[in-house]
Amino acid sequence: MQCGLTAIAQKQSIYEQKYFIASNIATSSPSTTTDRNTAWIDLKKLVVSLYNDYIINNDAISDADKKAMHVHTLEGNNTTPYDAPAYAPIASLIGEEPSSLHLIYSDPSAPGTHYKPAGVAFCELVYQLGSIPATASDCHDRTYVSRSHAGIVFENEQRGKMLYAFARWVNKNGKYGPWSGMISALIP
């Protein structure tokens, strides 16, 4: 396990360096954003592997210890049952820095806030670049956003293209709500 922790520490150091370069407005560019994202993917693979191998699937760790570490696995239907969301989110996309858009969403029953409705796990966003899709099923790219104002990063060659998207709530039981109307934005 020491070797795994050493590798994670090295990847974390690389990621932090790339993150600070990409988040600094003076040094930020599409290539630094790509470098940051690549460093994150490398770090995430190691952390997920460590988590799965040494915590989740480790028989030596008792259920009581997992509970003490706030490790909760979903087995069976042990969650509170929630009905499928009855309405779509109010969603918009804004560009604040090059090569990224931020999804801003709110609950229609509480406009002006950036909260999800009770029981909702995340907002699913499906999108297409360039041509206008007729429906959400025509969009082949998707992302899941668990908090409002989260950034979606695009490749350098996607800058300047129009993005057309639809959003919907997904609750903690995996039930989907209806799609929103189409939203669009230019990727800066």
CATH number for the domain spanning 139: value is: 2.60.40.10
Residue 75 lies in a domain: no
Looking at the structure, do residues 95 and 157 belong to the same domain, yes or no? yes
Contacts of 167 (CB under 8 A, 6+ apart): 88, 89, 91, 103, 105, 123, 124, 125, 179, 180, 183
Sign of CA dihedral 29, 34, 38, 40: positive
Tokens coding 121 = 């796990």
The pLDDT value recorded for residue 36 is 92
**Residues in Cβ contact with 88 at an 8 Å cutoff, skipping those fewer than 6 apart:** 108, 167, 168, 169, 177, 178, 179, 180, 181
Structural domain range at position 159 = 90-186
Beta bridge partners, 186, equal: 162
Say if strands 141-145 and 120-129 run parallel, antiparallel, or are unpaired: antiparallel
pLDDT digits (tens, 9 = 90+) for 126-154: 999 999 999 999 998 999 898 899 989 99
101 falls within a domain? yes
Distances (CA, A) of 128 to 11, 30, 44, 48, 116: 33, 20, 27, 29, 24
At 70-123, the pLDDT tens digits run 776 655 454 577 888 999 999 999 998 899 999 999 988 877 777 888 889 899
The pTM (predicted TM-score) of the whole model is 0.59
Using CA atoms, how far apart are residues 128 and 124, in angstroms rounded to an integer?
14
103 in the same domain as 160: yes
Phi, psi of 89 (to 5 degrees): -75, 155
